[in-house]
Structure formats: structure tokens, C-alpha cells
Structure 1
């Protein structure tokens, strides 16, 4: 007589996700990144006009 018995458990049914729900978080992330890029571009432009080079090293 076996000590353990195993039951076959079926995987949960996959529910197709809706495309508009998946796009919304991506749009929020893109807007968030755009704000960072805009701020960086403005800061760089101001530093170049002032003649003060950025203290950071350029990424190689």
C-alpha cells in the first residue's frame, strides 16, 4: 500500500488579457521618462550657455 498519493492538478485557464489595459502602464512610464529627458536637456542647454561644462564624465 503506497504511503503517498499524487493527484494530477490541472493548470489554471489562461484568460486573454486586453490590449488597452496593457498600454496604459507603458504610457505612464514613457511620460515619466520623457520628463527626466526634458529636464536633462534643459539643464545641459543652460550649462552650455553659461560656459560651465558639466562636472560629469561623458559615458563612453
Structure 2
């Protein structure tokens, strides 16, 4: 006779997506940081494109 046994634990039931609490609106500071980051990323991409255009293949 075994000294102990294992219980089979069933997985948690799937949650209903409608039951999730609504997301809080993002804070003003977070929105401002997102805007600055997006503009900076666009500027960096624009700079890369300019560098690529300036480079000409060596002949």
C-alpha cells in the first residue's frame, strides 16, 4: 500500500472576456512620453533613409 497518493487537479476554467475589468485610461504623462518616443523614432528612421540615399554604390 502506498504511503501517499497524488490528487488530480483540474485546470482552471476559462474566463469569460466580458468579465475582465475595464482598462484604466492612460495617464497624461504616459501619453506625453509615448508621443515623444514616437516622434523620435520617426526622426531616426528619416535620418537612416537620408543616409541610405546619400550612399552610392562604388563602381
TM-score, with structure 2 as normaliser: 0.48
Relative CO higher for 1 or 2, CA cutoff 8 Å, sep ≥ 6? 1
TM-score, with structure 1 as normaliser: 0.47
